[in-house]
Structure 1
């Protein structure tokens, strides 16, 4: 999603919901739904700020944004659930499994081997889940 994809008079929330659906698909919708009973306002913030404002900015396409997000979450080393959502988002926006693996391996240089190992195991889980879904559809 880029500036050219903004719809006139679209609210931040509407833009965020659209961006979330395009980028994270079902995985992102599950995160928002999981917040409904504990912090619905936080779900709104999640939709409006990162997706309605930041992801919708011009300058980077969604593929580049997901590369940065996967790298950052891997480097954090303690955000496996969020990393898994964004690994799946990376696949949704056109990153290959090999590219995602390389992004995560690159983080060993800057964040250390434990963070990269955690990221690789998160990727392995996501790739297996996606493969199961693809096999069920075929």
Structure 2
């Protein structure tokens, strides 16, 4: 299907699979019994609209996402999903670690430590 006739949901589903593989679909499936509409919003907006835009490649988008989730300091499950996604789109472990360490400057050492421990768990999987 070409991009013009492809729906936001179809485009988002394709992009989610490209970025997160089975992990992304597991997150969507886990919402089916409590908030299926929210699951659809996740597919359509972040992945169908934002991740599908030109201008940044998927590696750059995952660096930005890992940095933001690390800086938030309270999104460990989502951070772990995006660390996996970063590996999936070609980021090295060192690049992920450096991205998280950079957040110590802007979000503080506790946020960076939490991010590093999340990365350590993902790398051990």
Count of residues in Structure 1 that have an aligned counterpart in Structure 2: 124
The correspondence for 1:67, drawn from 59, 63, 69, is: 63
- Does residue 111 (structure 1) correspond to residue 116 (structure 2)? The answer is no
Q: Deviations over 1:55-111 (max 9, x none)?
A: 000100100000000000000000000000000000000000000000000000000
Q: What do you get for the CA RMSD once the two structures are aligned?
A: 0.8
Structural mapping, 1:1-138, within 5 Å: 7-129=3-125
1-side partners of 2:45 and 2:16: how far apart?
A: 11
Name structure 2 gaps, 5 residues minimum: none
Structure 1 length-normalised TM:
0.88
Name structure 1 gaps, 5 residues minimum: 1-5, 130-138
> Cα distance, 1:27 vs. partner?
1.2
Secondary structure in structure 2 of the residue aligned to 1:8: coil
> Cα distance, 1:26 vs. partner?
1.3
